[in-house]
Amino acid sequence: MADLQYVKVSIEDRTAILTIDHPPANAFNTQTMLDLATAFDSVVNNPEVKTIIITGAGQFFVAGADINEIAALKDPAEAKAVVVKGQEVFNRIQASPKPVIAAINGRFCLGGGNELAMACHIRLAEDGVRFGQPEINLGIMPGWGGTQRFPRYVGKGKALELLLTGDMINAQEAKRIGLVNNVVPVGEVVKAAKDLAKKINSKGGLAIAAILRAVNQGMETTLEKGLELEADEFSQLCATEDMREGVNAFLQKRQPKFQDR
């Protein structure tokens, strides 16, 4: 993978850690988004990687989009190209066949940062992080999925309240309304994400990918079609070595050793 300017990549125990490092606030400019896309594509296609963690360097997860770049947008076509590119990157993260955990650190997870977190499958936050979509304060609106994913997680009424006021909420409130899965003490979110990734890594990779497909695709269709998809995925797993290993391990009262095949 080519050298990246604003995203650091490390791999530990089959977990890739992508750290956004664009001082001072890890704002998303064009290069940061390109670096994130490159880094993500690299690790999601790496057979040695089973889970992915996305976090921020320093005192921020991602404070939002680069306001200087927004101010420089000259016409609707140019603006649309920017938002469509970001949507494409975040859609790839959401559609990942490998679990993506947002380890939300620091002081703020705002705008594009919150949209990135919502594209991840699981969100862990440090106590003290503040969340929000403050775009309306700039006379604009979210463009990287905020108006679409936010209501899906917290409900239409709460999402509209936060989108229309630009108000921020703390980590505990974010957990209460379903925006994040769990809140951990300051300084421990990456460790908590690694611990969660280790637990997931002990499971069969084929089943992990099947569950992600069933949930992601099922959420976008009817219950009837979702159940059909679930049945198809289940039946395919029953022909795998991992299924035989898992069942045999259960019957033999031992821990399974999945080979992801």
Active site residues per annotation:
115, 135
Length of the chain: 261
> What is the distance between the alpha carbons of residues 52 and 66, in angstroms, rounded to a whole number?
25
Both structure tokens of 14: 């089959």
Q: What is the DSSP letter of 28?
A: B
Residue matched to tokens 């391990």: 249
* Widest distance between CA atoms in the chain: 66
